[in-house]
A = this chain, B = another copy of it.
Amino acid sequence: MRRVDVVVVGAGYAGLAAARRLSRAGLDVVVLEAGDRVGGRTQTERLASGGVVDLGGQWMAAAHTRFASLAEEYGAATFDAPSTGANLFLTHRARRAFTGDSLPVAPHVAAALGFALWRLDRQAASIDVERPWAAKDADRLDATTVDTWLRRNVPLKQARRILELLLGDELSVEAGSVSLLALLVATRTAGGVKAGLTAEAVARLFVDGATGPAEAIAAELNDPVQLQARVATIRHARDHLQVSGQFGTIEAHRAIVAVPPPLAARIDYDPPLSAARDQLTQRMPMGSVLKTFAVYDRPFWRDDGLSGQAINTAGAAPVTADVTRPGGPGVLCSLIPGRAAQRLADLPSNERRAAILASHVRAFGNRAAKPIDWREKFWADDEFCRGGYAAYFPPGVLTSVGDQLRRPIGRIHWAGTETATEWAGFVEGAIRSGERAADEIRAAAGDAARVT
């Protein structure tokens, strides 16, 4: 039987960042991945017409310093996400071009939006992201949905509809499903409302796709990542762990479980995990998102002075952005979160595509009707992610069992973007969470003796 220092469960950015750090510290690490690829909620696909699309996480904001550092270290080239030209704002009635951050809406709508975002920011500023349950009024904030907050604070329906769209895009689930306290935490871990909502607009993209650094980490590990190695059970023996699945059993001194909380719940732990930890994983479901890519021979919208970015409160594609690679074909990427994603996913693929393309035609004209290629991914279908971008907190969870999120149980440590205190829900958060879990293991002094 193989014996190692640490088993890492999951080869997303969290697991790989943990394995990298431990490996470099001289520990013997094995990474077990249930799927047949590394990268987790990033997934790069090569196009026949040249270039790539990122079916999962793709944007790296200026504040994503750990992600940027990995990119640099592994020589993964990035470029400024296309943003030249006018953005579009579409409603049932209107199609308006605009530049800058301010949507082209009537002054009273703009004021309502500004006031709501200012209030959110101000409330978020008082939250301690390490212990949000200790906030003043935490119980009340956590017993309220974001939808209730919007109805109360944004009486103007048009402004509310825009905020629902922007927040839905950020949370990957309807505002009515998420705790207000959780939104404040998310806002805070993303450096404020504006940073969170505009992260995509001022970000960089990876020339060869966002999984590049993940693959580079996997390639440098002493032990290759074991793919299609789904962990079924983790057993605490007297002085080590036994991690088992169809791949066999590996003994380890410690483990880092770096998969989304609802999937961590599907591992069989022996002895069973505490009630509180089990409840946490029962109560943190994944958001869901459909991501589509319409590929054109060239980014024709630029001829009209358009950036390719569109916010659409009336169509199938609420948020669209230009993710064209330098020299590659033109690519419009749309993000559809939550229930709308499920509804589109339930359609036959040609109807789903037609619905999104209709949004593109309305925004960018008839040339958008006939893409030369089409790629899409509904993340709730992914067997080993079961949603995206991240797990969210429904009301009442943070204040009941939120303190279980990062707390190790015996020799088991927890990573994953959901456990991050900076940029939770982003690749950046995943990397930071993995490094934090690795540090926990390295800090477990006397106990850190190698078992191999």
A interface residues with partner B (beta carbon < 8 Å): 139-140, 142-145, 147-148, 173-178, 232, 262, 265-266, 268, 272, 275-276, 278-279, 282-283, 285-286, 288, 338-339, 342, 345-346, 378, 380-381, 383, 386-387, 394-397, 399-401
Contact = CB atoms under 8 A, between A and B. Distances in A.
A427 B323 CA distance: 55
A262 B286 contact: no
Given A177-B396, A177-B400, A378 B144 contact: no
Contacts of A288: 275, 279
B145 A395 contact: yes
The 8 closest A-B pairs by CB, nearest first: A143-B176, A177-B396, A275-B380, A394-B394, A282-B285, A143-B147, A283-B285, A262-B282
A177 B278 contact: no
B148 A342 contact: no
A282 B286 CA distance: 7
A342 B286 contact: no
Contacts of A178: 396
B143 A144 contact: no
A283 B261 CA distance: 12
A147 B174 CA distance: 19
A262 B338 CA distance: 20
A36 to B, nearest CB: 14
Contacts of A139: 176
B394 A279 contact: no
Nearest to A148: B148
A177 B397 contact: yes
Assembly stoichiometry (copies) = 2
Contacts of A401: 342
A343 to B, nearest CB: 10
A282 to B, nearest CB: 4
Given A144-B147, A145-B145, A380-B278, A396 B396 contact: no
A265 to B, nearest CB: 7
Contacts of A142: 176
A55 B174 CA distance: 38
A345 B275 contact: yes
Contacts of A177: 143, 394-397, 400
19 contacts: A143-B147, A143-B175, A143-B177, A144-B176, A147-B395, A148-B148, A177-B400, A178-B396, A262-B282, A275-B378, A275-B380, A275-B386, A276-B342, A276-B380, A279-B288, A279-B380, A282-B285, A283-B285, A339-B399
A100 B266 CA distance: 47
Nearest to A267: B266
Contacts of A176: 139, 142-144, 395-396, 399
B148 A387 contact: no
Contact of A265 (B145, B266, B397): B266
A386 B279 CA distance: 8
B386 A278 contact: yes
B279 A285 contact: yes
A265 B266 CA distance: 7
Nearest to A378: B275
A142 B397 CA distance: 17
A77 to B, nearest CB: 34
Nearest to A394: B394
A145 B397 CA distance: 13
Nearest to A283: B285
A400 B338 contact: yes
